[in-house]
């Protein structure tokens, strides 16, 4: 009863799959988290990416600092050290490498100085990390769009609704995280929700991911062959709370180094995410008083870029200050 649903999405990859759509819809209405099999992602790609990422994080901090996020400018790409990222003002026990779509200096968003847009910072070694991470991002975006088509159908929308509207030019971000061993209340990352539409997570076999379901906190079984998927604040907002963005956290007490790879497929930067015209008969109450940050995603107004900027500015306040950005009040 405590386990997250495991959904074989293979049929959805090749055509209409009402049974899969029904299970996806039920999972989003219940936990907002589910596990995916049948995703067709090459397991060798996963193993190679994991190996390259471990090789990078095993290098001295001085070497990794040559691609520190401070060197990425307004793109906010690159490496950060353990403790540099904050959740609710508290340092996380993890280090990471922030990546996204590769944009050259002549791209309109880069010319305009848009935050979180630009070139990735790649390490010299291992040289294989760049092509492997790029291939992984391509696979995750492909799969994410398929899953969004299933969710659209579950909401009574055309299968291509997200691709034609919110994710025609999506905000795409990818993180490689290394969690050193900890103990007690030494949180790798504290309680939080994700900000956008859909997160697709690959993880190793260490464990430590916990999800706050209606039944309480649930441990997510660590299985590298299974992708863990959860919905974010914008999907919560557009469905008026029918699909909840579920709090989750990580604590690595395995005694080993934990690796995880969350990929975020989110609305376009300039998209104004509005509630769908759904019936009010099953609209849940606003859960702002229960949320980890005490805010409401349903009363908020603006573009997704505004929302994301305000959130990330709280995660990296020093970078935000250098960029002339601040965490917006109420975000």
The pLDDT tens digits for 153-210 are 999 999 999 999 899 999 999 999 999 998 777 899 999 999 999 999 999 999 999 9
DSSP secondary-structure letter at 220? Answer: P
Confidence band for 331, pLDDT divided at 50, 70 and 90: very low
Report whether pLDDT(327) > 50: no
Lowest mean pLDDT among 111-115, 198-202, 220-224, 282-286: 282-286
Q: What percent of the chain has pLDDT over 90?
A: 73
Read off the pTM: 0.93
Cα–Cα distance for residue pair 153/146, rounded to 1 Å: 11
Give per-residue burial for 177-200: e unless 16+ CB within 10 Å, then b.
bbbebbeeeebbbbbbbbbbbbbb
pLDDT tens track for 22-48: 999 999 999 899 999 999 999 999 999
pLDDT tens track for 240-274: 889 989 999 999 999 999 999 999 999 999 999 98
Report whether pLDDT(90) > 60: yes
Cα–Cα distance for residue pair 218/216, rounded to 1 Å: 6
Give mean pLDDT, residues 136-165: 95
What pLDDT was estimated at residue 329?
33
Omega within 30 of 0 (cis) for the link into 75: no
Helix (H) or strand (E) holding 147: helix 129-154
What pLDDT was estimated at residue 313?
80
Cα–Cα distance for residue pair 27/25, rounded to 1 Å: 5
User: Considering only CA atoms, which of 262, 113, 152 is closest in space to residue 200?
Assistant: 262
Report whether pLDDT(89) > 90: no
Give mean pLDDT, residues 129-139: 98
Report whether pLDDT(292) > 90: no
The answer to whether residues 96 and 175 touch, using CB atoms and an 8 Å cutoff, is yes
The answer to whether residues 298 and 289 touch, using CB atoms and an 8 Å cutoff, is no
Sketch the domain layout of the chain as residue ranges: 6-322
Report whether pLDDT(317) > 80: no
Average pLDDT value for the chain: 90
Report whether pLDDT(2) > 80: no
The answer to whether residues 100 and 174 touch, using CB atoms and an 8 Å cutoff, is yes
The domain made up of 6-322 has a fold known as Jelly Rolls (2.60.120)
Give per-residue burial for 81-96: e unless 16+ CB within 10 Å, then b.
ebebbbbeeeebbbbb
What pLDDT was estimated at residue 328?
41
Half-sphere exposure of 154 (CA within 13 A, CB side): 23
Confidence band for 285, pLDDT divided at 50, 70 and 90: low
Cα–Cα distance for residue pair 23/309, rounded to 1 Å: 33
Question: Long-range contacts of range 24-27, CB-CB < 8 Å, 24 or more positions apart?
Answer: 24/147, 24/150, 24/151, 24/154, 25/151, 25/154, 25/155
DSSP secondary-structure letter at 118? Answer: B
What pLDDT was estimated at residue 1?
47
């Amino acid at each position: 009863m405590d386990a997250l649903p495991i959904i074989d999405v293979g049929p959805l990859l090749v055509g209409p799959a009402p049974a899969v759509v029904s299970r996806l819809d039920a999972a989003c209405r219940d936990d907002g988290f589910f596990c995916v099999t049948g995703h067709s992602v090459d397991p060798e790609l996963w193993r190679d990416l994991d190996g390259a990422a471990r090789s990078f994080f095993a290098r001295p901090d001085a070497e990794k600092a040559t691609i520190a996020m401070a060197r990425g400018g307004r793109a906010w790409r690159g490496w950060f050290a353990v403790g540099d990222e904050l959740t609710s003002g508290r340092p996380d026990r993890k280090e990471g490498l922030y990546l996204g779509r590769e944009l050259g200096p002549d791209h309109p968003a880069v010319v305009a100085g848009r935050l979180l847009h630009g070139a990735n910072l790649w390490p010299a070694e291992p040289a294989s990390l760049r092509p492997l991470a790029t291939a992984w991002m391509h696979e995750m975006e492909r799969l994410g769009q398929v899953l969004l088509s299933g969710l659209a159908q579950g909401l009574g929308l055309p299968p291509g609704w997200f691709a034609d509207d919110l994710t025609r030019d999506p905000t795409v971000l990818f993180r490689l995280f290394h969690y050193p061993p900890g103990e007690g209340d030494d949180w790798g990352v504290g309680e939080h929700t994700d900000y956008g539409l859909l997160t697709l997570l690959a993880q190793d076999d260490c464990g430590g991911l916990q999800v706050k379901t209606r039944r309480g906190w649930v441990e997510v079984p660590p299985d590298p062959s299974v992708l863990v998927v959860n919905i974010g604040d914008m999907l919560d907002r557009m469905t008026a709370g029918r699909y909840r963005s579920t709090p989750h956290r990580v604590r690595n007490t395995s005694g080993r180094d934990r690796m995880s790879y969350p990929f975020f497929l989110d609305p376009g930067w300039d998209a104004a995410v509005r509630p769908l015209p759904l019936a009010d008969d099953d609209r849940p109450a606003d859960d702002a008083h229960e949320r980890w940050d005490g805010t409401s995603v349903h009363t908020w107004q603006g573009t997704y870029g505004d929302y994301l900027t305000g959130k990330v500015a709280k995660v990296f306040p020093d970078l935000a200050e250098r960029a002339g950005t601040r965490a917006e009040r109420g975000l």
